[in-house]
Structure 1
Amino acid sequence: MNSPISVSTLNVQIKSLLETTFIQIYVEGEISNLTYHNSGHIYFSIKDESSTISCVMFKGNTKYLKFQLENGLKIVITGSLTVYAPRGNYQILCNKIEPSGKGALAFAFEQLKTKLEAKGYFDSVHKKVLPKYPKKIALVTSPTGAAIEDMKKVASHRWPLTKFILVPTLVQGEGASFDIVNSIKFADKLDCDIMIVGRGGGSIEDLWAFNEEIVANAIYEAKTPIISAVGHEIDYMISDFVADVRASTPSNAIEIALPDINEHRIYLDSLENEYNNRFKNILFNKQQELSNMKKLFEQNSIETKFNFIQTEINLLKSSFKTDLSQKILSSQNELNLFKSSIKNSFSAFLLKSQNQIDLLKSNYELNHPDKKDKNGFVQISKENKIISLEDLKVGDEVELQTPRYIASCTLNRLTKQ
C-alpha cells in the first residue's frame, strides 16, 4: 500500500505542475472584487458567465498599466498561472493588461478625459484670457527639438518685441510627465504673460506625457495663461482640453500668442493718413471761412459808404460853400479818422486770422509723426493716454515713447523750475 503524502507536498506538486504547464496564458474576462492595495499590488478576479478566477498584478508591473482598472470592465490578461502553496489557491499572475476591444492608451485617454471633465477642468469659466501684447513668454519644451526652432522663427517675423524664456523640459520617455510638471511650476513663478507648453509631433507613445493626470493638474492650477501646443493638428491631448487655449502646432501657438507686426504697421499708416486728411480738412474749412468773411466785407463795402458820404459833403460844399466851410472840413477830418480806424480794425482782424492759420500749420508740422523722432524729445503717456509733464506726480508709472522705442519708468522726483 502506498504511503500518504502531506498536504504541503501535494500543494507543491500541484504548484510545480501548473506553473510549468501554464507558463504563458492569454485570457479574457470581466473584473470583479477589485482592490488597490497599499503595497502597490492590485488584487481582483475575472469572470465570465459561469466561472471566476483570482488575479494579481504586482507593483513592478503596475507602472506599465496606462489605464485605471474598474469593476465590470472587460479586459484581456497576458500572464502565467501561479499557486500559493500555503493555502492551495491558484491565481493568474498578470504581466500585462489591456482593455478588451481597444488599445490601452486610447481607453486611458477616455477615462482621464471623462474624470477631468466631471471635475470641471474643461469649463470655459476657468479659461484665462491671453494678453494682446505679451512682453514675456515662457516656453516649456525640449531645448533640442524642432519645435523650439519653429517657434523662434515665427516669433522673429511676427513680433520681435517679446522676450522668450526657455524652460528646458523632458517631453517624452520615462519621467517626462514629472519633468513637465516641475517646469510648469517653475515657469509659473517667472512673472510671464503667457506660458506655452508643448512639443513637436510623434507617436501616441511619444506624446503620452501630456495625457498624464499630474500634468493636467499642473496646467489647471497654474496662474499664468497657458497655451497647449502638442504634436500636429490632428493630435488632441488632455493638456489641450485643460489649457486656456489649444494650438494645433508649436508654430501656431506663437501665432496665437503674438500680434502681427505687419498688420500694426498697416494700421499705423492708416492712422497717419487719417490724421493728415483731418488736418487738411481743418485748414481748408478755416480758409473757406476767411474767404467768406472777405466776400461779406466786400458786399458791405466801407468804401461805398465813404463815397456816399463824400457825395453828400460835396453837395454841402456847393450849397453852403461859404457858411459851412469849417463844418465841412471838420466832417472831412472825422471821415478820414473813421476810415483810418475801420481800415486798422479790419487789418488787425485779417492779421489775427492769418496768425491762427499759421499757428495751426506750425502745430501740424511740429506734431507730424515724421518729425517726432528728435534727439531728447519723447512723448509721455500714462495708462495709454498722452499726458503733459505738469500733470504727473511722484510715483506715477509712465511710458516714454518715440516712433521706434517705448521706455517704461516710475517717476521718483519732480522739480518745478
Structure 2
Amino acid sequence: MMPKEKVITVSEFVNELKGVIQKHPSFKNVALVGELSNFKAHHSGHFYFSLKDAKSRVSCVMFRSKSSMVKFKPKDGDKVVIHGSIDVFESTGSVQIYVERMNLDGLGDLFIQFEALKKEFLEKGYFAVEHKKPIPKYPHNLAVIVGEGSAAAADIARTLHERWPVAQVHVLYAFVQGEYAVDSIVKQIDYANTLNLDTIILARGGGSIEDLWSFNEPKVVEAVYNSKTPIISGVGHESDVTLVDYVSDYRAATPTAAAVHATPNTKDLLENLRDYKNAYYKSVRNKLRQNQQVYQTIMSQRYLQDPLRYIETKQQYLDYHQNKVTHQIYRFDTIKKTLQQQIHGYEKALNHKFQENKGQLKNFENEFYYNVEQHIRQEDVQRKHFEQSLMFSIGGIQRKIPQFYTFIEDTDVALKRRIDRLINLKASQFGDIIKTISNNNPVAKLEAVYAKGFARVSMNSEPITSIGNVAEGDALTIAVKDGIIQATVSGKDPL
C-alpha cells in the first residue's frame, strides 16, 4: 500500500518558504548590481521596480523611509547597485528584495567593498553591544578629532562651550579625506588614548561615500575598537553610515549631536541645582520647626521644671507598690499553709473511701460469679428440653414423608390424564377449522378455474366483463395459472 502523501495549503507552503529565506544568513544582507526595469514611483513614496541583467530579473520594493534618502532620480535603464534583504510577499507568494539603499553603478564597487568589510567585522564581534563602553555623564577632559577649519569643528566647539564650558577640550586636527586621512586619524586616536581623557569625539561633515571612505578603512575601525577611551562617532549626516558608526561606543547623527551626547547642559544642571537647593532649604526649615515644637513640648513637662519633686514622687510610688508586694507575699504564704492542710485531709478521706469501695467490690464480685453460675445451669436445662422437643417433631415429620410422596404421585397421574384429554379436544377443533378454510379458499377455487383454461382479463386494474369495455389498440392484462400475459386489442367479434 502506498504511503499517504502529505498535502498542505498554499498559505502553509508560503509560510514555510518565508521561514527558510528569513533564517538563511546570506539573504539578510545582499548587494546586487543591475539595470532598472518597470520602475514606478508610487504616490505613497514607495518605489516598485525590477532589477535585471542579460539573463535574469528580480522584483524589488523600496519603502518611502528608504527611498527618500536616494540622492538621484531613478528611471528605467539606470544601472544601479542596491542593498537590502530578501523576503517573501505572502499575498502573491513571490520572492522579492526589500531595498534599503540605492546608488548609481559608478559607486557600486565601493558599496560592495563596504558590505564585505561590514560582514567581516560583524563576524569578528567588533559591533557587539557588550563591547560598548559607557559614555561618562560629566566629563572633565575631552578630545575632538576633526578636520582643521571645518564646519564640524566650529559646530562642536560652539556646542561644547555653550553646554559644558568647565571641561578641558583637546582639539586634535586630522586629515578626514584623501590619501593621508587613514594614518592621520589612527595617529590622533592613539595619541588621545595617552591623555587620560573621559571621552573622544570623532567627527566630520557629510559627503559622498568616497568622501567618507576613510572611516570605513580597517585601520581606522581597528583603532576605534582598541581604544581604551570611549569614542562617540559623529561622521556625516544622519543618512550617512560608516563602519566607524558601528564599532564606536555611541553613534550620533551629526557632529553637533555628538557634542550634545558627550556633555550635560550647564543651564539644565544649574536649574536642577537651584531646585535641589530650594527643596533642601524647605526640608531643613520644616525639620527645624518640627524640632522646635518637640523641644517646647519636652521643656513644658512638669518633671523638668521640678526634677527633685518628680523623683521623690516616683520614690513614694515605688514604696507604695513595695508594701503591696510584701503584703501579697504574706497572704500567699498563709494560703499555701491552708492548702497543704486541706490536701492532707483530702488524702486521708480518699484513702478511707478507697478501702470501703474495695470491700464492696469484692462482695459484688462473689455475688456476680454465683449469679452467672446459676444462670448457666438454668440455660443448660432449657436447652436439653428444647432438644427433646425438636427430636420429637423431626420424628413426626419423617413418618409423614411417605404419605406426601403417595399424594404427589396420585396428583401427577390425574393431571397428565386431564392434559391429554384437553390436547385431543383442541386437535379435533383445529382440524375442523382447517377443513372449513380449505373449502372456502378463493385461491384454490381460482386455481381450479385456471386449470380448466379460464383466465382473468383486466385493463388498468379494472376487470373486463364485456367487449364494450375495450377498444382497438387498448392494452390488456391477462392473468393465467402460472403468470401474466400482456396483450393489445386488435379487433372485436360480438356473439
TM range (shorter): 0.3 to 0.5
Give me the TM-score of the superposition, normalised by structure 2: 0.40
> Which structure carries more helix by proportion?
2
Structure having the higher Rg: 2
Q: Which has the higher contact order (CA 8 A, sep 6+)?
A: 1
Give me the TM-score of the superposition, normalised by structure 1: 0.47
